[in-house]
Structure 1
Amino acid sequence: MPSIMSTALYNTQEVLHLLKIEQIAPDRFIGQSHFMGSPNVFGGQALGQALYAAGLTVPERRPHSLHALFILPGDHRLPIEYEVERVRDGGTFSTRRVVATQEGRRMFVMSASFQTTEDGLSHQKAAPPRHDPHTVPSTLAQWHDSSIKTGSPFNPAPVDFRIDRDAVAKSANGNPALKQVWTRAPQIDDDAPLLHESLFAYTSDYGLLWTALQPHDVRITDPRLQIASLDHTIWFHRPFRMDDWLLFSIESPNASGGRGLCIAHVYTQDGTLVATITQEGLIRLREKRAGA
């Protein structure tokens, strides 16, 4: 099985390069895309690039929340223009609004809030029971090996994924809509917090919605399935690095109306809660046409 550092598995440097978008004018940026197996732009890429653009206008403060809407699918062959609006700069908080467009069409909007680092009251939701990530097989490596055996395409990722199925089985109490996934990027030489936060935003769109399919025994490969991100929110609680292990503890509390809602609490290996994510997405099952 390929090791954690196998270059066949990872495109970390490519993604980091994509996130460092080019400034073309005051508060205007251009980002490129890459192929993820679909002609559409990966939603996590828009999240990461928009956060990076907004963060460049608030270098002295850290993001504490972002709220995004996916309006139209983007074309991965075309550049994306990000325009940042400086909504407000207060004594402690800064607010930014980012609009992403392709060929004049708005495809994505995001509001983000940044805060000066300060001390305050502190508590957190306890981390769930979990295994040491080093004892959990690499799901990314399994996907890679399966693609070799079947001859199907394999798309590398910037982080490893390790689904801790045994931990979920012991604590689910009959709830089928739970998932625990360990993630870690290969070593990142750049210590800039904004780059790690933007890579986190990119990674946060990987497979979150799949948890909403679990109670219905629907697989992501089901030809009837139409799945897409609709909106996405991240709250950043505490500092982290993407080249350290992070546990995504995911639950889907609801699916209805052709949509699924998922919530993820993200912990470091020692159980510190560093972020919370919510995402609602389209999970529509299209009926097969007669004679198809």
Structure 2
Amino acid sequence: MLDTTLYNTEEILRLLDLEEIGEDRFRGQSHFMGSPNVFGGQVLGQSLHAATATVDGRRPHSLHSLFILPGNHRLPIDYEVERVRDGGTFSTRRVVAYQEGKRIFVTSISFQTAEEGLSHQKAMPDAKPPESLASTVKTWKESAGNGKRPFMPVPVDFRADHGGDLYSGHEGKPGKYVWTKAPITLPDDVQLHETLFAYVSDYGLLWTSLQPHGVRMGDPRLQIASLDHSIWFHRPFRMDEWLLFAMESPNASGGRGLCFAHVYNQQGELVATLAQEGLIRLREKKNP
């Protein structure tokens, strides 16, 4: 039985399943993640669900998003889908998310009919197998209430192949490897796996840009927020099988951090690539 004190997989799958409220219009509920703001992964996953509902026989291959305003977790989110183009092979959709009549998020998603073609990939890095690593989720729960971030259940397990966890890797090094997998067997629904992947893709990526500077989540000086987020889907995958997120941050400047992740299955296939830039502003403490 699923340990709901650690994992909320079924709750998140329901959250990502939107209500249709009109032609190309959808409504999604929000949930509490320990912050008054809506979790960025929620809006990513729900937007992908909305766009996919307007496309037949094609799968998403790229998603490019901008976070405009923080969402309120107490309010539902309305999604409007624009059918930009349906060509012979590709379809393009634009999705705008609204709360209280204000745009909080916008994304463009491209879909493609499956086809064969040239193939190569960046090799999978040498990471420890997930079976040999401890669950980061259990560690979070055990350390909750000790001055660290409050524990909230998550839809997947995380296992970090480094001295830290999902929130922090080796200080001074701009990279980390994290395995992830849903703790239950999921239905054979491609859209479900893709939308859950989009939800999970916002965990831990931006935090990689803090590592070279020795700044940790929870630092009272830190103001951190996602600004944009991109996903490229390369090959089929399942969220109930282990995926390795090989994260790195090639640059931080101007109060912003840039991060990438190459995502591999256990067979070494590159299944997706992520890119995210976010605000990582350090505010000086004011003297009393």
TM-score, normalised by the number of residues in structure 2: 0.95
Question: Matched residue of 2:41: which SS?
Answer: helix
Alpha-carbon distance in structure 2 between the residues aligned to 1:243 and 1:236: 17
Aligned-CA RMSD value: 2.0
Q: Paired residue for 2:166?
A: none
Q: Paired residue for 1:116?
A: 113
Q: Paired residue for 2:4?
A: 7
Q: For 1:41-90, what per-residue CA distance to the aligned partner results, in whole angstroms no more than 9, with x for missing partners?
A: 00000000000000011131100000000000000001100000000000
Correspondence for 2:132 among 130, 135, 139: 135
Q: Paired residue for 1:41?
A: 38
Alpha-carbon distance in structure 2 between the residues aligned to 1:195 and 1:187: 13
Alpha-carbon distance in structure 2 between the residues aligned to 1:38 and 1:208: 18
Correspondence for 1:283 among 273, 280, 284: 280
Q: Which amino acid aligns with 1:222?
A: D
**Size of the alignment, in residue pairs?**
284
Alpha-carbon distance in structure 2 between the residues aligned to 1:116 and 1:61: 5
Contact kept, 8 Å, 2:172 with 2:213, in 1: the verdict is no
Residues 1-292 of structure 1 aligned to structure 2 (within 5 Å)? 5-147=2-144, 153-165=150-162, 176-291=173-288
Question: Matched residue of 2:144: which SS?
Answer: helix
Q: Which amino acid aligns with 1:194?
A: Q
Alpha-carbon distance in structure 1 between the residues aligned to 2:90 and 2:69: 30
Alpha-carbon distance in structure 2 between the residues aligned to 1:128 and 1:189: 27
Question: Matched residue of 2:128: which SS?
Answer: coil
Deviation at 1:152, TM superposition (A): 6.8
Alpha-carbon distance in structure 2 between the residues aligned to 1:43 and 1:267: 22
Deviation at 1:148, TM superposition (A): 6.1
The runs of at least 4 consecutive aligned structure 1 residues that moved more than 3 Å come to: 148-153
TM-score, normalised by the number of residues in structure 1: 0.93
Q: Paired residue for 1:169?
A: none
Q: Which amino acid aligns with 1:38?
A: S
Q: For 1:212-263, what per-residue CA distance to the aligned partner results, in whole angstroms no more than 9, with x for missing partners?
A: 0000000011010000000000000000010000000000000000000000
Alpha-carbon distance in structure 1 between the residues aligned to 2:71 and 2:147: 29
Q: Which amino acid aligns with 2:6?
A: L
Question: Matched residue of 2:227: which SS?
Answer: strand
Alpha-carbon distance in structure 1 between the residues aligned to 2:282 and 2:145: 29
Alpha-carbon distance in structure 2 between the residues aligned to 1:119 and 1:155: 42
Q: Which runs of 5+ in 1 are unaligned?
A: 167-171
Deviation at 1:8, TM superposition (A): 1.4
Contact kept, 8 Å, 2:172 with 2:211, in 1: the verdict is no
Which structure has greater helix proportion?
1
Q: % of aligned pairs identical?
A: 68
